[in-house]
Every structure is written in C-alpha cells, then in structure tokens.
Amino acid sequence: MVWAQVGRYFADVRSPAPRAEGEEAELCALDGPQAFSGWLSCEGDLVTWCHDLDTKRLPPGYQDSALLERNGATVVERGPGYLELWMRAGRGPALVLERVDRTGAPTARILMVADLTVAVWRGRRAGGATLRFEDGGWEVESYVGSGAIPWPAITDAHAGRTPAGWSKVA
C-alpha cells in the first residue's frame, strides 16, 4: 500500500502482497486491490476521508473515519476490524493536479511528493498507480484497475508545467 498526502488531498493505491504457493491468509475487505483519492478532515484524533475517486465504484462522497495516534515515527490508524501502521517515506516538493468533468467532479487526481507520484482516475476504466522517478526515468511500482496511466500529465507536472485540461489545486 502506498499513501500520498498533500495538504487536505490524499491518494492511496493498494495492491495485495504476493503470496507463496499454498500460503493461506485471512483477508479483509481492505486487502483487495483498490485505488482511491479525495480529501480529509480532522477532529482531534478522528480523521475522516471523503472519497471522490475510487476504483471500487463507491458512491461519490463516500466517507470513512478512524482514530490516528502517533507512536514515535509511526502513525497508527485504528478502524473497525483493522489496524494500519503508516511510516513517512520522504519529504520534498509537493503538488496536486486535478482533471474535472463538465459538472466540476474530479475524473483524475495526481499527487506528487518529491520523487513519488500517486495517480487515481475514474470512469469505465478506473485505476490507480504509484510511480517513482529514479535515474532520469519513471518506474511503475504498483498498478490496479484498468485504463491508461496519465503519462502526459505526469511528465508535464514533473517538468514544472500544468498540463492542458488539468488544474493545480495544491
């Protein structure tokens, strides 16, 4: 799982870890492949995530909440029936790009933090990907769903340009 956050915007791409042949594991709903993005709000230790892009085709505005607490360099998320540990992967220049439809609803979002990019898009071919810029090129670290990674927007943004049809929102 890779999580990116810039200001109030977030993007998350989850792809299940490969399992050894014959290995059994108890899976919960959060263990399946999924990409989602939206915005969050905080009230004390309670964080609420509002999804406006999601490969599981949840209704726009779907919300989930959990308690967050710091434990040294780790953030612990506790929700109904699950526990997640978050660790900071890096800091650096950050931005958020959005593409919207005629009604103003997002159709895609790209979060860039230093060399990490997380992209999520909706539609008939919804999907999400995490990419890392290393040694002068892009490497896809994970991909879920279907559809094409928005490469022109990613390469333009990385070069400091706002791509046509996209807006910089953070």
| pLDDT greater than 70 at residue 111 | yes
| pLDDT greater than 70 at residue 168 | yes
Residue 153 phi/psi, 5-degree rounding, is -65, -40
Contact 42, 67 (CB under 8 A): no
Burial of 33 (0-12, 13-18, 19+ CB in 10 A): middle
Question: What one-letter code names the amino acid at 168?
Answer: K
Q: What is the pTM of this model?
A: 0.88
At 108, the pLDDT band (50, 70, 90 cuts) reads: very high
Neighbours of 137 (CB within 10 A): 7
pLDDT at 29: 54
At 97, the pLDDT band (50, 70, 90 cuts) reads: very high
For residue range 124-151, list pLDDT tens digits in order.
Answer: 899 999 999 999 999 999 999 988 999 9
Contacts of residue 119, Cβ cutoff 8 Å, sequence gap at least 6: 11, 108, 109, 110, 111, 128, 129, 131, 149, 150, 154
- Exposure class string for 48-71: b at 16+ Cβ within 10 A, else e: ebebbbbbeeeeeeeeeebebeee
What percent of the chain lies above the pLDDT cut of 70? 91
Contact 41, 50 (CB under 8 A): yes
